[in-house]
Amino acid sequence: MKKKITFLIFTVLAVLCVVYSGMVLATGSGTSFFLVWIGLAVLFFLFGYSIWKSFWKKVPRLVKGICIAVVAVGFTAFFIVEGCIISQMHEKGEAGLDYIIVLGAQVRKSGPSAALKYRLDEAVEYLEDNPKTICIVSGGQGANEPYSEAEGMAQYLKEQGIDASRILLEDKSLNTEQNMEYSKALIKDGASVGIITNDFHLFRAKQIARKYGLDNVCGIAAKSTPVYLPNNMLREFLAEIKFLL
């Protein structure tokens, strides 16, 4: 009975992962990260099935030990990285910065995606409170975008009353590393800089900024859509491991 209950629990987890992958796919982000949730679903189902059919008991003790050690190290790394991410999720930067960089996200014909709109609204609030700050909007044009993210961001900011003279466009970058590298060319040496991105992305974004020589930098966290936070947190964990390696 216990084996069947365990199998049922892991099957439910697998189904939830499949449903969630569909929700992530439906955002139309243009990435294939939803496949990670499909992969997790397969792992949950296979593990539950192996318990139900007693396959796990037949695995050699050494192999079991290695599997348990790998899982333990993985979970430890996951919780450490997630703790670092969470520690930056409410950062609001400093007043009177010379520049802010708004990192790009998907734009559509109808305007900014939800994630990008959160970033832009945070930028508008900061620019209204700090009238001498210059805003760099950073993002090129993806294959599924009608124009560059920088162009879409600049248009949105102007519609919200931000003067065009305060907006600099960096419209070539295709990822966060390029956001920082190309934006740095528009910034005077020694200037103070704030990075505006969604809360889950801020920890890694600041690391990348420092990698490209933006030493006098702080973070300004924008909100994110709660229902997609598990996906974004998992994606950031994997991206952080890749960055560190």
Q: Outline where 53-159 has alpha helix (H).
A: 55-58, 61-87, 114-129, 149-159
Tokens of 68: 């348990």
Mean pLDDT (whole number) for 208-217: 94
pLDDT at 1: 73
pLDDT at 29: 78
Which amino acid, one-letter code, is at 222? A
CA distance 197 to 139: 12
Tens of pLDDT along 121-139? 999 999 999 999 999 999 9
Compute the mean pLDDT over every residue in the chain, rounded to the nearest whole number.
95
Burial class (CB in 10 A: 0-12, 13-18, 19+), 160: middle
Lowest mean pLDDT among 4-8, 87-91, 184-188: 4-8
pLDDT at 169: 98
Cβ pair 237, 78 in contact under 8 A: yes
